[in-house]
Amino acid sequence: MHCVYNVSMSVTELKECWRCEKLKKETDFHLRYQILRNQRLHICEVCILEEAQVLGETPTEIRGVYTHMQLHFKNLDKSMYKRFWLKAVS
Ligand SMILES: [Zn+2]
């Protein structure tokens, strides 16, 4: 007799946003399928929209910046993002 494990696809993965530091559903993070090979951004969509307003850019542009960062900086950590915000807010 076989024991079959039913792996539910509805299990929600949680991910921490590197900006607001909240645990959110993975689906709250933008997926750059083509560019980041299925990786999601470290920044949640709520923060992206907030940033877009502060900077007066479109959310697409902001996502582009973070995609670029994730793509080109292998050892990214939260502190690097923090420095990035300061510029935007001040
Ligand atoms: Zn966030």
pLDDT average per 10 residues of sequence, the chain (90 residues): 54 88 93 76 94 93 90 82 62
pLDDT at 12: 72
pLDDT at 18: 93
Sign, CA torsion 18/22/24/28 = negative
**Contact (Cβ atoms closer than 8 angstroms) between residue 17 and residue 29:** yes
Ligand 1 centroid from CA 20, angstroms: 4
d(CA 50, ligand 1 centre) in Å? 9
**10 alpha carbon – ligand 1 mean position (Å):** 22
b/e per residue, 55-79, with b = 16+ CB within 10 A?
eeeeeeebbeebbebbeeeeeeeee
| Structure confidence at residue 3 (pLDDT) | 54
Which of 55, 56, 65, 54 has its CA nearest to residue 30?
65
How far apart are the CA of 16 and the centre of ligand 1, in A? 8
Cα-to-centroid distance, 35 and ligand 1 (Å): 21
pTM: 0.74
Name beta bridge partners: 16. 23
d(CA 51, CA 59): 8
**Which pLDDT belongs to residue 59?**
95
Q: What is residue 86's predicted lDDT score, i.e. its pLDDT?
A: 58
pLDDT the model gives residue 72: 85
- 3 CA → ligand 1 middle, Å: 41
